Amino acid sequence: MAEQITAGPARLRRSPLAHLEERMRAATVTGPRGVSLSEWPYITMVSLRVDPESEAAARIEKTLGAPLPRRCGDTTSAGPHTVLWLGPDEWMVVSQAEHPALTAELTEALDGDPGSVVDVSANRTTLELSGPMAREVLEKGCALDLHPRAFEPGQAVSTQVGPVPVILWQTDEAPSYRLFPRASFADYLARWLLDAIDEYARPEVT
């Protein structure tokens, strides 16, 4: 998924992890100890700040077709967009693909009221870690309790994996996780995860 875009002036654009695409693909482990790592580049991400009790928030919720989550860890989704709670008046809206009109739509919904809408798509990239051993890989360097009793599909929190701050979102029970590191830390995080995955490509010692 990290191929260069070839249309128009964007043809020279490269995702933060394009240079590791083949290595991530080669690191895939299948079977009961399976785990895989891939990048989802060019996903639209918008930072949103607004009073959740305001009329502006109600207009934004109508635009998104989903309520703004109100508790730490909660997410809400509608259509291609998912809203991740980051703070009492702060969220990140994540689209499943490029959605260049999203920032303008949310800015229009804000309608000049107090708050902010900022496209942060270039600030971060998205890594997807999935497979039966995905949780075990993360547990090598994440202090968060990732057991299903404490962290469930649909939850997203700010945490740290290895030495890298990320937003971590569990998307399903497989389990699959999406990690949103800042672009400048993406290479380090991807290499850290590849090293953590390597154990499962080797015969299990009993």
Each residue of 79-96: pLDDT tens digit?
999 999 999 999 999 998
pLDDT digits (tens, 9 = 90+) for 46-60: 999 999 999 999 999
Domain 16-41+125-198: CATH class, spelled out: alpha beta
**Topology given in CATH for the domain delimited by 45-119:** Alpha-Beta Plaits (3.30.70)
- The alpha carbon of 79 is separated from its chain's Cα centroid by a whole number of angstroms, namely 17
- Give domain limits for the chain: 16-41+125-198, 45-119
40 — pLDDT class (breaks 50, 70, 90): very high
The average pLDDT across 175-189 equals 97
Q: Is the pLDDT of residue 23 over 50?
A: yes
Gap between the Cα atoms of 107 and 53, Å rounded: 17
Distance in angstroms (rounded) separating the CA atoms of residues 55 and 43: 28
Tokens of 113: 């009221």
Instruction: Inform me whether the pLDDT recorded for 7 exceeds 60.
Output: no
Query: How many Å apart are CA 85 and CA 52, to the nearest integer?
Result: 11
- pTM score of the predicted model: 0.91
Q: Within 13 Å of residue 46, how many CA atoms lie on the same side as its CB?
A: 26
> Taking each helix axis from N to C terminus, what angle separates 55-64 and 102-110, rounded to the nearest 10 degrees?
150
